[in-house]
Amino acid sequence: MISEILVLDETVSKMVADEASKYDIARYAQEHTGYEPMIVDGIKKALHGITTLDEVLRVTREL
């Protein structure tokens, strides 16, 4: 299983309410909350043999 968790702090909540782009929200979250995109989690798990790169790409392309 690969995953991503977005912590909703006040700034992220305001960005969502103000209809900020998903890229701006992700950039803020990576810099301030430790957010890690699903593809990064998947690549790490593929490198550790938990899943395959093909599976990571299949799942993340669906998003």
| Sequential pLDDT tens for the chain (63 residues) | 899 999 999 999 999 999 999 999 999 999 999 999 999 999 999 999 999 999 999 999 876
In a domain, 2, yes or no: no
The answer to the question of residue 3 being in a domain is no
Q: Which domain holds residue 20?
A: 10-61
Supply the angle between the helices 10-17 and 22-32 in degrees, to the nearest 10: 170
On whether residue 54 sits in a domain, the answer given is yes
For helices 38-47 and 53-61, what crossing angle results, to 10°?
170
Question: What was the pLDDT predicted at 63?
Answer: 66
CB 3 within 8 A of CB 63: no
- Where helices occur in the chain by DSSP H, the ranges are 10-17, 22-32, 38-47, 53-61
